[in-house]
Amino acid sequence: MLKKRNLLFLSLLILGVLLLSSCFLNPPVTEGILKGQIMVPEGTVQAKELTGQALPDATVNIIDLATGAIIATTVTDSAGYYQVSVPPGGPYLLEAIKDGIKIQQITPQVEVGIEYDLGTADCVTTAAALIAQAMMDAGDNPADIGCAAIIADPNFDDVSSIVCSTIKAGQDPTISAAILQAVEDFLHPPIVSPYTPPTYTVTYDGNGSTAGTVPIDSLSPYHDGSKVIVLGNTGNLVKTQDGISLLFTGWNTSADGSGTGYIEGVTFNMGSASITLYAQWSVIRGTGPAGGLIFYDNGSYIPATATVPSWRYLEAAPSDQSASAPWGCYGVGITGADGTAVGTGEQNTIDIEAECTTAGTAADICANLNLGSYDDWFLPSIDELNLMYTNLRVEGVGGFTDFIYWSSSEHSTIDAWYQDFGGGQYYYPKDGPFRVRAVRAF
C-alpha cells in the first residue's frame, strides 16, 4: 500500500513539474518580447561605483508613445542586459534610467509571440528617439518614422554629438535646451544664404576741385585681389588757386599726397578694404592768369619793395618773345643789374631799362610786353631762368627749344649770364643774339 502511495505521489510530482515546465517554455501567446543592452559613453559619470560602458541596475520602462503610460518595466542585469514582455502594438519608447542617466530607444511595432532583439540602446539611439518624438509631436505617424533613416541623415551627427556629451556628463538629455535646439535645427534647418565674398569700392575724390566731375569706376566694387585699373581725369576736373588753373598730376590714397600715388592706366590689386583716390594738384606747370605756365611758387607772399609789388608765383610767357635779341649796352655796366637769385629779375629789368636806352634789347622787349592783358613782364634772372629750364623745359612743356636764353643777370660790363636750354649756365658778350622768354611775378 505504501509503495502505491509513493508511486502516486511521484507520478503527481512528475506531472506537476512537466506542467510547470511547459508554462515556462511556452507562455500564453499574448505578448511580444523586447531585449537588448543599455550602454553609456565611455567615461560617463556614474554613481555607486559603476564601471565600464554597460549600465547595470537601470530601470527600463516601456512607454506608450500615444498616452505616455508605462506598459512594462524591468531592470538591467550586471552587464546592462534586459528582457521584458510587452503587449502587441507600438512603436514604443524604451527608456532606461539610472542615477540621472537616461537612455532612450524607439522600438519597432510589437507582434504577439515575436522576440525582438533591439541590440544596444545608447546615446545615439537616444538622439534618434528625441528626434522621432519631436516628429510625432509635430503630427507625423509613428509607423512612418524610421530611426535608421534619421541616423543616416548627414546632419544627424550634429544632434548625436551633443546628446552623447550631455549623457557623458551625467545629465538628462530630454530637458537640455541645447539638445532641443539641435533637434529643432535638424528638423527645420536654418536657411543659410550662400557665401558671398565681400566686395570693396574704389572711389575718386576731386580733393578741392572747383569744376568738372570725378570719374566713376564702372567695375567697382571689387573682390579682394581683383585687378584695378586707375582712371584718368575723365571728368575734366579743374582746381583754381590765386587765378592759377592747377595741374592735375594723378591720384593718391591720401589727400595730402603722403600715401600711395597712382597715375592713369597703372594697375593694382584690390585689398580687403575700400579705397578712396584723391586728385593731386600742382601749382608748378599750372596755367597762370596770363595763359603761361607757373614755374615757381615761393609758398608765401614776398613783401613789396619800392619798385616791385608783393608776389608769390612766377609765370613764364606762353612763347618766346624773340629768337635773336642782344642783351644790350655792350661795354656799359648797369648799376644793380647783377642780381642772380630768384626774385631779382624784375629789379634787374628795371635797372637795365633805366641805364640802357637801346631799343629792342632783351630786357626792353620784356619790359614793354603786353600779353594776356598784363604789362608787368620782365627778363628773368639767371636763377629764375634755370627754374624755367628745370620745371618746364626738362618736363617737356612750355614750347622751349634747346637754344640759349638771355637772363637779366649782368656778369660784367662786357658779358651777361645766359641759360642753355640744352643744359648749362654761362656768360657771353652782351651783343650776342639769343632767345628771350619773358616772365611775370604775381
Identify whether the C-beta of residue 361 lies closer than 8 Å to the C-beta of residue 352: yes
* Cell reading at 434: 639769343
Q: Torsion over CA of 311, 312, 313 and 314, rounded to 10 degrees?
A: 50
Long-range contacts, stretch 231-234, CB < 8 angstroms, 24+ apart: 231/204, 231/264, 232/264, 232/265, 233/264, 233/279
Other Cβ atoms closer than 10 A to 254: 14
Element (H, E) at 116: strand 115-121
Element (H, E) at 133: helix 123-137
Most distant CA pair in the chain, distance: 183
DSSP SS3 for 2:
helix
Other Cβ atoms closer than 10 A to 420: 14
Identify whether the C-beta of residue 159 lies closer than 8 Å to the C-beta of residue 131: yes
Identify whether the C-beta of residue 330 lies closer than 8 Å to the C-beta of residue 430: yes
DSSP SS3 for 335:
coil
Identify whether the C-beta of residue 377 lies closer than 8 Å to the C-beta of residue 440: yes
DSSP-H helix ranges across 153-260: 156-168, 177-187
Structure confidence at residue 298 (pLDDT): 97
How far are the Cα atoms of 141, 156, 308 from residue 144, in angstroms, in the given order?
A: 5, 18, 105
**Total-model pTM:** 0.61
Task: Name every residue whose Cβ is closer than 8 Å to that of residue 154 and which is 6 or more positions away in sequence.
Answer: none
Each residue's pLDDT expressed in tens, for the chain with a length of 442 residues: 434 444 444 443 333 333 333 323 344 478 999 999 999 987 665 443 333 489 999 999 999 998 999 999 999 999 999 999 999 999 999 999 998 899 999 999 999 999 999 999 999 999 999 999 999 999 998 888 888 999 999 999 999 999 999 999 989 999 999 999 999 999 999 888 888 999 999 999 999 999 999 999 999 999 999 999 999 999 999 999 999 999 999 999 999 999 999 999 999 999 999 999 999 999 999 999 999 999 999 999 999 999 999 999 999 999 999 999 999 999 999 999 999 999 999 999 999 999 999 999 999 999 999 999 999 999 999 999 999 999 999 999 999 989 999 999 999 999 999 999 998 999 999 999 999 999 999 9
| CATH code at 30-187 | 2.60.40.10
List the one residue out of 393, 362, 358 whose CA is nearest residue 378. Answer: 362
Instruction: State the amino acid at position 136 in one-letter form.
Output: M
Other Cβ atoms closer than 10 A to 163: 28
Identify whether the C-beta of residue 96 lies closer than 8 Å to the C-beta of residue 59: yes
Identify whether the C-beta of residue 203 lies closer than 8 Å to the C-beta of residue 219: no
